[in-house]
């Protein structure tokens, strides 16, 4: 009785190539959206930050990642000497500079 019913059932049709491509479409769409929303803007910010760091010159007024404001006195390959106040100078890594302020901001 059970055997005859099992033989009588037809096999399920396998996935067609068209439906398998359609199942990957949402995954591809999510990756494209992720690229334009997260990855591309981050790469743009990194490029702008690198250009800003390379363009630093003596006398620029900068803000560091730690929140210190000062004027660049000396430039090295990877280190800046930043004067925070008269007679107070610190060494800061170039990558720690977050922003270059307009001239005359610090008094």
**What pLDDT digit, counting tens, does each position of 67-89 carry?**
999 999 999 999 999 999 999 99
Note whether 62 and 70 are within 8 A (CB).
yes
Question: Which tokens go with 49?
Answer: 């930050």
Query: Does 51 lie in the same domain as 32?
Result: yes
Instruction: Look up the CATH number of the domain holding residue 90.
Output: 2.30.30
Domain total in the chain: 2
Q: How far apart are CA 18 and CA 2, in angstroms?
A: 36
**pTM of this structure:** 0.70
Q: Checking DSSP bridges between strand 69-75 and strand 61-64, what pairing results, if any?
A: antiparallel
Residue-number span of the structural domain to which 93 is assigned:
57-101
Please tell me the predicted confidence (pLDDT) of residue 19: 78
Query: Does 65 lie in the same domain as 50?
Result: no
* Closest by CA position to 77, among listed 92, 94, 61: 94
């Amino acid at each position: 009785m059970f055997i005859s019913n099992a033989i009588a059932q037809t096999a399920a049709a396998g996935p067609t190539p068209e439906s398998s491509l359609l199942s990957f479409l949402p995954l591809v769409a999510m990756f494209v959206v992720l690229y334009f929303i997260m990855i591309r803007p981050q790469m743009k910010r990194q490029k702008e930050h690198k250009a800003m760091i390379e363009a630093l010159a003596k006398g620029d007024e900068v803000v560091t990642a730690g929140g210190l404001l000062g004027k660049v006195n000396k430039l090295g390959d990877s280190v800046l000497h930043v004067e925070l106040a008269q007679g107070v100078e610190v060494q800061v890594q170039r990558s720690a500079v977050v922003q270059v302020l307009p001239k005359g901001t610090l008094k």
